């Protein structure tokens, strides 16, 4: 790749009170899908937590491209029992409401608290993928999903624009294979 990376991890060692994971290095360019894989507790979420300040960087550096914005879907999306936000209003928050995929259109007029866990997960993933962010971080996006929903998620990733990069933290190797992701094993 000759273009400037949208996001670079350079020998990053991350943790909380002490180092947990690293050193890890990678570059993300437009069109990349990078899968961070590894066993539970190996520090995958700690590594991406360095982007938000949820974890500390003990060594190395995280470098963002100039003006690059980041969309971040957490492992357990915030889902309230009684909030009257409609699905299309949720997508509007991130600017992802312009051209939602066919699979999401039947959900758009519904309140998000009336959706199933899998439907809500798909919606929040598209809110990140279809929005204005150039780098999208998805932390365990296949949680709560049955095989059909994982298939729909794969379609969403392929439908997203090619000028963004996606960083996926997951333990689901079949899902990563389905989206043709580069794979980086953490904790080895």
Partner 1 sequence: MSFALVFDPLFRVPFANGLLLALVLPLLGSYVRLRNEWLAALGLAQVTAAGGVVAILLGIHPLAGAIGAAVLAAGVKGRTERSGNDVYAVLLFFGWSAALLGAANSVRGEELSHALLEGQLYFTTWANLGGAVVLFALVAAAGPWLSRRLLLEHFFPEHLSANGQAPWRLHLAFDLLVALSVALATESIGVMATFCLVFFPPWVAFRIAASWKRALVHAVGISVTAYLAAFVVAIVLNQPFGPVLVGTLVLGGVVRLPFLRPR
Residues 6+ apart with CB under 8 A from 12: 22, 23, 24, 25, 47, 50, 57, 59, 60, 61, 62
Whichever of 15 and 49 has its CB closer to partner 1, that residue is: 49
Coil, strand, or helix at residue 75?
coil
Q: Cβ atoms within 10 A of the Cβ of 100, count?
A: 20
Q: Which of 47, 9, 54, 32 is nearest to 186 (CA)?
A: 47
Q: Would you give the binding string for partner 1 spanning residues 51-70, x where CB under 8 A is met?
A: xxxx--------------xx
Site string for partner 1, 8-37 (x = CB under 8 A): ------------------------------
CA 95, 100, 104, 105 dihedral sign is positive
What is the rounded CA–CA span in Å between residue 59 and residue 57?
A: 6
- Of the pair 94, 143, the CB lying nearest partner 1 is at 94
Measured on CA atoms in the order 122, 127, 133, 137, is the torsion positive or negative?
negative
CA–CA dist 80, 54 (Å, integer): 22
List the one residue from 10, 29, 56, 111 that touches partner 1 (CB under 8 A).
111
Q: Considering only residues 123-142, where is the footprint of partner 1 by CB under 8 A?
A: 124, 127-128, 137
User: Minimum distance between the CB of residue 62 and partner 1, rounded to whole angstroms?
Assistant: 11
Q: Taking CB under 8 A as the rule, which mask of x and - marks residues 71-100 in contact with partner 1?
A: xxxx--xx-x-xxxxx--xx--xx------
Q: CB of residue 70 vs partner 1: minimum separation in angstroms?
A: 4
Which residues would be at the binding site for partner 1 (CB under 8 A)?
Answer: 51-54, 69-74, 77-78, 80, 82-86, 89-90, 93-94, 111, 114, 124, 127-128, 137
């Amino acid at each position: 790749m000759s273009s400037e990376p949208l996001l670079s991890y350079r020998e990053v060692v991350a943790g909380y009170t002490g180092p947990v994971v690293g050193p890890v290095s990678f570059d993300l360019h437009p069109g990349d899908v990078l899968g961070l894989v590894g066993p539970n507790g190996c520090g995958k979420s700690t590594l991406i937590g360095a982007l938000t300040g949820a974890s500390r960087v003990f060594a190395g550096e995280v470098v963002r491209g100039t003006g690059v914005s980041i969309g971040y879907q957490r492992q357990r999306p915030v889902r309230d029992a009684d909030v009257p936000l409609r699905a299309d209003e949720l997508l509007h928050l991130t600017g992802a409401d312009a051209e939602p995929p066919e699979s999401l259109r039947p959900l758009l007029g519904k309140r998000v608290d009336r959706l199933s866990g899998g439907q809500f997960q798909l919606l929040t993933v598209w809110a990140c993928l279809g929005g204005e962010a150039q780098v999208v971080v998805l932390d365990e996006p296949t949680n709560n999903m049955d095989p059909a929903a994982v298939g729909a998620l794969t379609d969403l990733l392929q439908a997203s624009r090619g000028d963004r990069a996606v960083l996926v933290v997951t333990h689901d190797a079949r899902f990563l294979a389905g989206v043709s992701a580069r794979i980086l094993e953490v904790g080895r």
